[in-house]
Amino acid sequence: MLNVFGKNQGSGFDTSCQFKTTLATSDLGPQARELNFKCLVDGFHGHAHRRLCQLSHLTTYQRGLGLEDLGVCECAFSRSNANAGVVRHMSVFHRMQAIVHYFQYTDDMETYHNLSKPILHRALLLCSLSLLATFLLNNYKQALGILENSPKILARIMIDMGISSVDVFDNWLDEEKEYLLGLKTEPEAETLQMEYYQKLINFCTSK
């Protein structure tokens, strides 16, 4: 991926916040840093992570991703869960066979149709092209609608909240991150209070 796609790319994974450390210490670490590779957590799992992790890795806060949630594989596996009740009682061979047949069917009857896979049968080919055209048209309309309406909605919200610049949102995230980083150790005042309280308990119980 680093060699093919080059600079400023990102990859979504359930535990990318941990994988980031593994990548940094691996042989690929220097190349990843040089190409500004970003480890991201997909939207499906990201909201279950710590808030500090979300600020650094969640797709919501990454410029350039748009509406992408990076959960394509997650969605595919989620849909395949319907097979679990059947394959659990099969032998190992038939279980694997059923899973392979499911994904082959999904590829042939759904995925490839949407990608306009060349099909010999003219009727299926026309159906595939029609589905592809509809898919592209709907996404294009959605993108145009977002580009047209989002700035207006954002401007109205900013006026209502008294926000003068979109840079304020980045400042908020930076301030939140700084605050959370400061919580890695207990505030000194609270620590002294708890130590004093514990000493009072120890004193009272020693009588």
What CA dihedral angle connects 97, 103, 108 and 109, to 10 degrees?
110
pLDDT digit of tens for each residue in the chain (207 aa)?
Answer: 899 989 988 888 888 888 889 999 999 999 999 999 988 888 777 778 888 888 888 888 888 777 777 877 777 787 888 888 888 888 999 988 988 888 888 777 666 555 554 444 445 455 556 666 777 788 888 888 888 888 888 889 889 988 888 888 889 989 998 888 887 777 788 888 999 999 999 988 887
pTM of this prediction?
A: 0.55
Residue 130 half-sphere exposure, CB side, CA atoms within 13 Å?
6
Kindly state the DSSP code that residue 40 receives in the 8-state scheme: E
Half-sphere exposure of 143 (CA within 13 A, CB side): 9
Helix (H) or strand (E) holding 39, with range, is strand 38-40
In whole angstroms, what is the distance from residue 154 CA to residue 147 CA?
11
